[in-house]
Each structure stands twice: as structure tokens, then as C-alpha cells.
Amino acid sequence: MTRQALDFRSHFKMIMVTAMLAAGAHAHAQELPDTLIWTAYDVGSAGYAEASAIADAFGREYGTRVRVQPSSSAIGRIQPLIEGRANYGFLGGASFFAVEGIYDFAARRWGPQDLRAIAGRPASFGMPTAADAGIETLADVKGKRVAYIAGNPWINFSCDAFLAFAGLDRDDVEAVMFPSYKAAIGSLAEGKADAACTTTTPSQLYELEQSPRGIHWVPIPADDEQGWQRLTQMAPIYEPNRETVGAGISEESPVELAAYRYPVLGVMAGTSADEVYALTKALDEAYGLYKDATDRISSWSLDKAGTPPIEVPFHEGAIRYLEEKGIWSDEMQAWNDARLKRLEALQAAWSQALAEGEGKSDEAFAQLWETHRTQALNSLE
């Protein structure tokens, strides 16, 4: 063999080895679709910022092109998933309404949706009050002015759940309805309400902290078992959380609040388990590229984001990866099995309500569905 031939063979081997190493380095990219469409909250929201940061990480690490499609409404984020116009959604608390078939999803065209979760980061939620309102415990909210928001069932639902913690309901307080979220949270500093329900970092709360009224967070103690039983009976997606970041909150002055998952990375149940497994794996392996993108995005580590409770049942593909990582436990599987059983009972009840409600008015159908829904949930107790 000539020297030229030997040089060519050596050069060819080097090219092949380099190609094989490159293929191995980008193996995960081949497991993901080349292009993905994700729905998210509006531009400027934490949900949009986090979806964009993770999408950018996927592009850099795997070459997957992700288009983030913002929407101001829960239906605008979920409908594209149902219709197959989007692959995944960075959803919020309203995904719970979607699988429960309540509020907007109680209309005949909706009903309980077959949504699944991949992961969702914990987000604190609680009841900030004006410090001069004299509200030390949730029981003290009785008779006080509580800010509710027109057209925002998630905030209102959460407020009702916090009242339930103390054995109260909306009739026990002076519910003041505001036209927008901004107006409701700003009402505390303006003296138009005494308490509201929100996350810990809205700008209006920092204004309240600096105002003459001051800010006080009503604790939701983790050791109050009866209170938490009442709260989770209404809103099973909440869990106790010790918060150290927010208006009037710090490492030195933490507060016991509730936490739900926002955003929730959701997908339809029928999506391929292998694809969801690959995406869950990518979410984990690309974590180092996006974990510092926002103040809260570090909570997307799967030991925090890949555990229940969460708004909807976990997808089987996500569970497979979480099991491999040693995150998923028998207790978590029992939670997921119960959540699936609840969803299946609601879907069966919905089919019965649709059949019996044919030809009835929307008002009559709403009453019929509420009856069937209550019966279905009672059958699970």
C-alpha cells in the first residue's frame, strides 16, 4: 500500500471517529422533534419568561427549534394542545379547572380534559393583608374586606380555599370585586380592601410594604392538619411551603404559605410516551443552561418540579424518566393513580350529563353537570 493510501486511510478513520463522537454528543437531539410549539402566558409574565429560557436552552443544546406562542387566557393556552396545533403548554392553575370540568371548562364544548403533566415548579401563594387591618390568622379575616377579581376564577378559587382553611366561606367576609388583578392587589395600599390573594412578588405588594398601611402575610401553618384538610378538600393542588422571597418576606423573616405549581408543563395524554420521556430527560439535562435565567426558574430541578401534588396527573413518559432518576416513589404513584381515577370518574359523569342534557338549556345543563360531578366525587370517598 502506498504512503498516500495509508495517509488517506488514516485521515478517513479520523473523520469517522470524529463523526461518531459528534453523533454521540447530540444523541438526545435526535430523540426530540426538530420543531416544537409551546403555549405560554402573555409576554412579560413569569410563565413566558421561563418557557422562553427553556426553549433557548433546547435550541443551544439539542438544535430543537421551539416557538413559544403566548396567550392571555387559559383556553388560549389549552385549546391548541387539544387541537394538535401545539405540542406542549406552560400552563397554570386553570389546568386544574380543565381536568375538573369547572368554570370555563364546564361549558358543553369542553368538560374534563385529558391533560397530563411533565413537571411544574412550586410557586408560593397566600393572603397578604394590610398590617393595620389587625389580621393575624386566617380566622381573623372574618368580617374584613377581601379583594376578588371579576373574570379571574383562579384567584377567587384560591381565596375561597384559604378561607376554608379557617372554616370560613365568602359569606363570612366582605367580598369586594375589582375589575383587574392590578386593581385588586393595589387596593390594599389604597385602603379599598384589607386582604387579597396572590403570589409574593407583585410590584403592588412592595408598594404596600412601603405605604403607611404596611404589609402582613397571614400564615398558613403546615402543622394545622384540620385546616389543611379543609383547604385541600377544595383545592387538592396546594401544599405547605416555607417562603423566604417576596414583599415583607426574607430569609430572616420567612412565612408559612401554600404552594401550587406555576407554570405547569402540560401535554395531552395521547402524546407518545417515548417523546414525553425524551422531553423530560432534555428538561433535566439542559437544566444548567437555564437555571439562572430568572429569579425562580431554578425550581425547575426535577426533584422539586417532578413531584406531586400538581394540577393534573403526570404523563407516563415523564414518570418513566423520574423513576430512572430515583425521584418517583410508591407514594407518588399512589397519588397519581388516585388522580387518574378521579379524572376517569369525572369524564364518565360528563358523558352521562351530556346524554341527559341533550336539548336542555345551558342553565339546566350546568345544574345537571354539577349534580353528576358531585355524585362522581362523592363516590370516590
pLDDT higher than threshold 90 for residue 276: yes
Q: Which helix (H) or strand (E) holds 24?
A: helix 3-25
SS3 194: coil
Q: How far is CA 280 from the centre of its chain?
A: 16
pLDDT at 44: 85
What the block records as the C-alpha cell of 6 is 495509508
Burial 328-366 (b: 16+ CB within 10 A, else e): beeebeebbeebeebbebbbebbeebeeebeeeeeeebb
Q: What is the dihedral of CA 118, 124, 126, 131, to 10 degrees?
A: -170
CA dist 313 and 249 (Å) reads 32
Among 22, 23, 85, 26, smallest CA distance to 59 is for 26
pLDDT at 303: 97
pLDDT tens digits for range 54-72: 999 999 999 999 999 999 8
pLDDT at 72: 85
pLDDT higher than threshold 60 for residue 125: yes
Banded pLDDT at 19 (limits 50, 70, 90): very low
What the block records as the C-alpha cell of 204 is 403592588
pLDDT higher than threshold 80 for residue 30: no
DSSP lists the bridge partners of residue 178 as 149
Written as one string, the DSSP assignment of 248-307 is TB-SSS-EEEEEEEEEEEEEETTS-HHHHHHHHHHHHHTHHHHTTSSSSGGGGSHHHHTS
Among 98, 25, 36, smallest CA distance to 69 is for 36
Rounded (to 5) percent helix, strand, coil in the chain: 50, 20, 30
pLDDT at 226: 98
Mean pLDDT, the chain, whole residue set: 92
Banded pLDDT at 154 (limits 50, 70, 90): very high
pLDDT higher than threshold 50 for residue 24: no
CA dist 123 and 181 (Å) reads 17
pLDDT tens digits for range 6-17: 444 444 444 443
Banded pLDDT at 375 (limits 50, 70, 90): very high
User: Quick check: 49 and 100 in contact, CB under 8 A?
Assistant: no
End-to-end Cα spacing for the chain: 82
Which residue is listed with cell 401563594?
125
pLDDT at 344: 97
Phi/psi-derived region of residue 214, left when phi > 0, alpha when psi is between -120 and 50, beta in every other case: left
pLDDT at 197: 97
pLDDT tens digits for range 346-359: 999 999 999 999 99
pLDDT at 31: 80
pLDDT at 149: 94
pLDDT higher than threshold 70 for residue 22: no
Which residue is listed with cell 433535566?
284
Q: Phi and psi (nearest 5°) for 302?
A: -65, -20
pLDDT tens digits for range 302-355: 999 999 999 999 999 999 999 999 999 999 999 999 999 999 999 999 999 999
Q: Which helix (H) or strand (E) holds 363?
A: helix 362-378
Banded pLDDT at 20 (limits 50, 70, 90): very low
pLDDT higher than threshold 90 for residue 172: yes
pLDDT tens digits for range 96-123: 999 999 999 999 999 999 999 999 999 9
pLDDT at 372: 97
Banded pLDDT at 216 (limits 50, 70, 90): very high
pLDDT at 151: 86
Q: Which amino acid is at 302?
A: L
DSSP lists the bridge partners of residue 146 as 175, 195
Find the mean pLDDT for residues 24-33: 55
Find the mean pLDDT for residues 148-158: 93
